[in-house]
Amino acid sequence: MKNMRLRISWGIGLIFIALVLWFIISESLPILFYPNLPYFSFFKFSFWVLALGCVLSIYRVCKGPTASDRIVAVDILGILIIGFCACLSIPTGRTWYLNVSIAWVVQSFVSTLALAKYLENKDFDE
């Protein structure tokens, strides 16, 4: 029973994330889907590659056989989000996407170090 509730909550969460992403892409970033944009095919291809990488990384987070595999998958997911931010900043001309990606890099680095220390059963001051 508990496992079924967990799957339902994960499913609802994934549907919510998909709806939020659809709203963000369709409403606030229509410039990315205009075919007269220079290098339109490059941006479209890069978004699809990054989306595929996110799906595969989330699969590894869910099905990873060990905790270290899951940590690496979360780190890769952070790198893919940085790629999304970079690809969004170029056609839109908004530089705050790069600020978000820099903050994400710092947060990802610190969290990866903390999880590695935790897996080695060491204190944070060692």
CA–CA distance, 10 with 5 (Å, rounded to integer): 9
Would the CA dihedral through 95, 99, 102, 108 be positive or negative?
negative
Q: What is the pLDDT of residue 24?
A: 63
Task: Kindly report the pTM of this predicted structure.
Answer: 0.67
Tell me which of 110 and 32 has the higher pLDDT: 110
Mean pLDDT, range 28-37, rounded to an integer: 59
Q: What is the pLDDT of residue 32?
A: 58
CA–CA distance, 122 with 116 (Å, rounded to integer): 9
Question: Lowest-pLDDT range, 19-23, 98-102, 118-122?
Answer: 19-23
Q: What is the pLDDT of residue 29?
A: 56
Would the CA dihedral through 117, 122, 61, 69 be positive or negative?
positive
| Helical ranges in the chain per DSSP H | 2-23, 40-63, 67-92, 96-119
